[in-house]
Amino acid sequence: MGTMIELSASDGHSLGAYKAEPSGKAKGGVVVIQEIFGVNSHIKNLCEEFAKNGYVAIAPALFDRVEKNLELGYGQEDFGKGRDTRGALKNEGIIADTQAAIDEAAKSGKVGIVGYCFGGAVSWMGATQCSGLAAASTFYGGGIHASRTATPKCPVIFNFGDKDGGIPLNQVAEIKEAHPDIPCYVYDDAGHGFCCDDRESYNKGACERAHARTLALFGEHVG
């Protein structure tokens, strides 16, 4: 099992992060970016899965700037708390904290980033604004459409669900139009959060395909 560590951002902010390590020599590092529910059991489990595939996985607690150690479930109150907490964050802090996680992961080699929901948008932000990334995979990132004209610094893949009520297919089409060179995968019968097995929207087949593509991307560009 992984452990909680402390990271220091460039502006002096200290944040927690969950770190999972492989049993053998690491292929590289993967930064795993949370949904709006904090670094909860789902995100920690994802870190463990990337560690099983040979990567040092680090999930920075981006909500620490608002409330330390916040871990939420998936009830209505949790959704509201997550939305409010995310709304209190500023992009400058998000980028600084993500960069701190990248720098820590880089101690193990090249670094990829993957994010889900809120983290999907953050992984796109990282690909376009952070330094030191070799690849990025985004999962149902609602904020990507608004910043679709940004230019990534590393190879990227997009993963969306065709039944995502928060990211309509016309937005996905416009993201594709803005970046025709970036692979954009749309999964059938998949809603928002289709890779979270703690939510009703979980779609095992779509999640497995998306993660296989993510691991292939990291295998090619990270190690």
Can you give the pLDDT at residue 5? Answer: 98
Three-state SS at 103? helix
223 residues of the chain, pLDDT tens digit each: 899 999 999 999 999 999 999 999 999 999 999 999 999 999 999 999 999 999 999 999 999 999 999 999 999 999 999 999 999 999 999 999 999 999 999 999 999 999 999 999 999 999 999 999 999 999 999 999 999 999 999 999 999 999 999 999 999 999 999 999 999 999 999 999 999 999 989 999 999 999 999 999 999 999 9
Residues in the chain: 223
Q: Which residues pair with 20 in a beta bridge?
A: 57
How many Cβ atoms from other residues are within 10 Å of residue 96's Cβ? 19
Structural domains in the chain, CATH included, are 3-221 (3.40.50.1820)
Question: By CB neighbour count within 10 A (0-12 exposed, 13-18 middle, 19+ buried), where does 189 fall?
Answer: exposed
How many Cβ atoms from other residues are within 10 Å of residue 213's Cβ? 15
The residues annotated with a catalytic role in the active site are: 117, 164, 192
Q: Distance (Å, rounded) from C-alpha 147 to C-alpha 82?
A: 22
Can you give the pLDDT at residue 166? Answer: 95
pTM: 0.98
- Whole-Å CA distances, 61 to 39, 40, 160: 6, 9, 24
Can you give the pLDDT at residue 84? Answer: 97
- Tokens read off for 149: 């004209």
Can you give the pLDDT at residue 95? Answer: 98
Can you give the pLDDT at residue 135? Answer: 99
Can you give the pLDDT at residue 1? Answer: 85
The candidate with the shortest Cα–Cα distance to 208, out of 190, 192, 220, 223, is 190
Look-up of token digits 């939420």: 72
